[in-house]
Structure 1
């Protein structure tokens, strides 16, 4: 049923684009959604997903910046990104080139990128129906292909390709440290992610949060109180809390067991959820294509840096998950509402990235920017109305306590970490002349 819903939404995105003749902006959200679909297919983990989104958007952003003097080039503030020299026939439609570059970069760097070839064909058909000539489309595609090759080459130097050659991660020994959790007992995801070259921040350890509350088995200790809170919330959860936890689950691959059978369910990543929100709000704000692409690219880069910072702390503290502690010392039969993710607990990833992105979106579109989020409709959940990006981020953060997968200090300190990252990024953008859009 979920597969059918996903493809229905996928087709509707293109149907909507084809109805809006001559308004090229409507092709942006479907292009990004196409990339999301491939990542859902490939079960791309959250940190890696943020990286793929970033590179898919950077080529499009640079094409726009080279053709619109009001848009500040990403090469002025993105680490190790040189201006892309483009020597093509004058008069090519840079907007078409930028859109196509999103798909072309994804085709080159995603594991199943070949799947985007069909989306490229659909985009061309939609553009022809909009009245663009085949000649203009071909000229733009040539630009997109050349730029995407250079973006892919740059991506190959960020450390990602070396991850598989690094020493296999082994959990630390001791009662205080993370250990793989049921039902899959999957080994730690991306333990060396801190080695990835960041986009906007200076280094992986630039925003180290304060240490987590120290582990203790003592029932009077602060750590035990944090653990018991997770346990108590899980035992007496309201329907509203249960819904919020499920809404922000964003687990790319959850395993459901029934007897001896295990069934995997693919879902959108936390970054994918915020990228879709970005598409919704840039459309509602009536931004032109150029600024819509810029905001998507900067949200993606913020996501990428936030995951790098968060993952640096996760594998430094390697803190044990609530499920493990509760099962060992409180209730061996207790289970969290959400499936515990396969990596250490501190800090909360969703808290970090949701806070940082909400601050960046607030910078561009203002506080109290109300929006309706339909991201989770494809996973049988209803639309949600939020009065601001910060409200959505607050809910995403506390959802991890309701879901039983994070202690409160990991959530709150994750929010502090995310806000610090965002403030640094916003100050850098301000210095380079990237201004609010509303």
Structure 2
């Protein structure tokens, strides 16, 4: 009884500290900030079919990060400039999305479906819009962390720690991603292709309701992979069954980084991201993950030096 009573007291102290800390994270002020209005200009993001939903959380960059120093501290290089010129880099980016979408292999379709993770996807009928039951990309990676921790039998304490750090990583990765998305306000492939290439073309996946650059899947997946590799090890084979309750099957991976690579490219297969957005997001996510490892998980502020962490020393 004494241990139980003391444990409850410690838990309450921890909860009170978290609540106090959260009161200054700016979340409560989000609804009072200026409403986002899409700009009808060439190259800018605009709501997409089928529901033409409003932009999601345009002010998310104002949320205080947990580990990284600022929302904009990990911005990758700017994407290629918008252009309608058929010889331009931008046109080639869009054409690549268009071409892959017209000849997807069975494996590419499976990958796109498995990593869809779009809680904003809807089924429309007349004036009705009914949301599909889908997990978020953050929820998917939390489940990966849990299932591998369970597979490795690391115990309750270590599992709790892994999930806590993974949650922190996702929080900061999304803040960083949303900062970049609304800083660039880039047009989605669906909008560009329909206007300048093929009015009847549709992406394999529904386009989420926010700007294109960088890919959120690429950022959060690579950040997660770096942190989970540090915490649970590299080259760990596992079977990801996260999507079974949501209508997809399961997929086998040899490491967290392999899963992150597949999650990233799935958005290209799905027709909702240009390849440079995926590449920029990969870089952004890896840097965030390595920064969190260095700042939060290693006492010296530098990544642990051993063979399994070789990539972190680069």
- TM-score greater than 0.5 by the shorter chain: yes
> How far apart, CA to CA, are the structure 2 residues paired with 1:380 and 1:208?
35
- The match for 2:34 among 153, 157, 167 is 167
The answer to whether structure 1 residue 217 and structure 2 residue 84 are counterparts is yes
1:256-310 CA distance string (max 9 Å, x none): 1245543211311100000001100111121121111111111111111111111
Between structure 1 and structure 2, the one with the greater Rg is 1
- The match for 1:431 among 279, 295, 299 is 299
- The match for 1:204 among 71, 76, 85 is 71
> How far apart, CA to CA, are the structure 2 residues paired with 1:166 and 1:217?
34
What's the counterpart of residue 204 of structure 2?
337
Which structure 1 segments of 5+ residues have no match?
A: 1-88, 93-135
What's the counterpart of residue 193 of structure 1?
60
> How far apart, CA to CA, are the structure 1 residues paired with 2:33 and 2:127?
34
Q: Tell me the TM-score normalised to structure 2 length.
A: 0.92
> Any residues of structure 2 matched to 1:1-400 within 5 Å, and which?
91-92=2-3, 136=4, 140-141=7-8, 143-258=10-125, 261-400=128-267
Contact 2:116 2:205 (C-alpha < 8 Å) held by counterparts = yes
Counterpart secondary structure, 1:406? coil
Counterpart secondary structure, 1:375? coil
Counterpart secondary structure, 1:382? coil
Counterpart secondary structure, 2:121? strand
> How far apart, CA to CA, are the structure 2 residues paired with 1:186 and 1:258?
15
Deviation at 1:172, TM superposition (A): 3.0
Contact 2:133 2:246 (C-alpha < 8 Å) held by counterparts = no
Deviation at 1:145, TM superposition (A): 4.2
- Say what the alpha-carbon RMSD is for the aligned residues: 2.0
What's the counterpart of residue 70 of structure 1?
none
What's the counterpart of residue 418 of structure 1?
285
Contact 1:193 1:308 (C-alpha < 8 Å) held by counterparts = yes
> How far apart, CA to CA, are the structure 1 residues paired with 2:185 and 2:8?
46
Deviation at 1:383, TM superposition (A): 1.9
Q: Tell me the TM-score normalised to structure 1 length.
A: 0.66
> How far apart, CA to CA, are the structure 2 residues paired with 1:161 and 1:432?
35
> How far apart, CA to CA, are the structure 2 residues paired with 1:174 and 1:180?
13
> How far apart, CA to CA, are the structure 2 residues paired with 1:435 and 1:277?
23
Contact 1:364 1:435 (C-alpha < 8 Å) held by counterparts = no
Which structure 2 segments of 5+ residues have no match?
A: 309-314
Higher helix content, 1 or 2: 1
